[in-house]
Amino acid sequence: MMTARPTRFIFCALLAAALAGCSGTPSNNSADSTQPANQSTTKSAKPAADQTQTGREALQKMYAAAHNWAMDAQPVSLGSAPRSGDAAGKAAIWSASFASASKRAIRNFTWSGAAGKDAPDPGVSQGSIDDYSPQNASTRPFDMNFLKIDSDAAFDESQKHGGATLLKKTPDTLMRYSLLSDARAMQLSWRIQYGSDASAKLTAIVNASTGKFIRIEK
């Protein structure tokens, strides 16, 4: 009976030490290890940037979607939506219309690489459908084989005729790029517009087949 007491005492002491270790507070090192991870997550949460493309790149993507709608679809128009950040002949939003003789209809398409609350759905989306008459010269399709000069090359040419000077003074000028089709002359041209429609500061016309400057639009 005398030897049982020390054994019991040692057992109780060990049990108390174990319980004290389990109830202890976490070390400062474990608390600090979670802080850098939280900080890096906060810093990485940046808003997505717009993705821009040239006119011909966007048109080819919309052309593929238009052929899913109608196999005989041909392009009628192409233009960008002015948006802050567009530069050097590229844009985050392009719209095009395609005519189908078999459906006797014109359908609108949009390609978007824009980000933000006001941005259209990303990629190619289908839009409204209008009536189409092959006799209407204003909606006559153009031949994509004439589109040899892309919007970025046309922009570079327009820069030589006043555009560079203008953007140096006002670098935040909104840009608009669109195709002009002259069915009678069988000519396709880029229209490079510096500024909004209401107050365009400069509008240059560049041949979309040769890349040559044509004129300044008054």
Question: How many Cβ atoms are within 10 Å of 64's Cβ, its own excluded?
Answer: 12
Q: What is the pLDDT of residues 85-143, one digit of tens each?
A: 899 999 999 999 999 999 999 999 999 999 988 888 899 999 999 999 988 888 999 99
Closest CA to 162 of 87, 125, 217: 217
Q: How far apart are CA 62 and CA 68, in angstroms?
A: 10
Instruction: Answer whether residue 36 is part of any domain.
Output: no
Cα distances (angstroms) measured from residue 2 to each of 5, 8, 12, 13, 149: 6, 11, 17, 18, 105
Average pLDDT value for residue range 34-52 = 60
Instruction: Answer whether residue 91 is part of any domain.
Output: yes
Instruction: Answer whether residue 34 is part of any domain.
Output: no
**Number of domains composing the chain:** 1
pLDDT at 212: 97
pLDDT at 101: 95
Q: How far apart are CA 112 and CA 135, in angstroms?
A: 32
Q: Residue 76 carries which side chain, given as an amino acid letter? A: V
Instruction: Answer whether residue 143 is part of any domain.
Output: yes
Q: In the chain, what is the straight-line distance between the N-terminal and C-terminal CA atoms, in Å?
A: 116
130 beta partners: 106
Place 70 in a pLDDT band, splitting at 50, 70 and 90. very high
Instruction: Answer whether residue 41 is part of any domain.
Output: no
Domain coverage including residue 110: 55-216
Instruction: Answer whether residue 27 is part of any domain.
Output: no
Instruction: Answer whether residue 42 is part of any domain.
Output: no
Average pLDDT value for residue range 1-7 = 45
Instruction: Answer whether residue 169 is part of any domain.
Output: yes
Element (H, E) at 206: strand 202-207
Q: In sequence order, what DSSP letters do the residues of 103-160 get, joined into one string?
A: TTEEEEEEEE---STTPPPSEEEEEEEEE--TT-GGG----GGG--S-HHHHHHHHII
Predicted model pTM:
0.77
**Residue where the block lists tokens 């046309």:** 154
